[in-house]
Amino acid sequence: MILQFCGLSGAGKSTLAKLVREKLSRKGYIVEILDGDEYRQTLCCDLGFSKEDRKENLRRMAFVAAQLSKHGIITIICAINPYEATREEIRNAYSNVKTIHIDCSLATLINRDTKGLYRKALLPDAHPEKISNLTGVNDPFEVPKDADLYVNTDHYNIGECAHQIASFTEKHFVLCTEMESKVVTNVIPLTSYQSSVI
């Protein structure tokens, strides 16, 4: 199972991913987090912040997530993930991908500004510290049309949001496992097939 988070910087994606992993790990699930910031320093260090590079960044993360998911690992793609087309591409390319929109108002994010990014993005254009490609301020974020789960860190505290995501994940992971089990159960054994042919 793959959870592709999407949301603006500072909305709480990384914090929520860690809390969700903690909650699910206590119940015996194996959870791996693919952090967008970490991947940009390693596997995706050759990429910038153009639209195409942002898309390629997510494609690489999704490929790794899919390899982990094959082995029953719940994998969280923790990145801004700003484009609807890329999110749909990932959903169509791999099985059991759930899109989770981590939402928070821009006003609250500017007030939080844990990394100082919004302050820099709002500086005058000629300022040497100006960031000109911050998603949600001067670079687009396309709100998901049909997210599987919507979480708002403006209206609910981080613990409540983590519980919401963990419960959703557990429910859908179990459903997925049951469906796969039924498929395996309905497969005709090779020996039976050979007997019928003979």
Q: Give me the mean pLDDT over the 128-148 stretch.
A: 95
- Report the pLDDT averaged over residues 76-94: 97
pLDDT of residue 178: 54
Reduce the DSSP state of residue 36 to 3 states and report it. Answer: helix
Burial class of residue 176 (count of CB atoms within 10 Å of its CB; 0-12, 13-18, 19+): middle
Work out the average pLDDT over 189-193: 40
Split at pLDDT 50, 70, 90, the class of 186 is very low
Spatial CA neighbour of 79 closest among 59, 106, 95, 107: 59
The pLDDT-based confidence of 176 (bands split at 50, 70, 90) is low
| Domains parsed from the chain with CATH numbers | 2-160 (3.40.50.300)
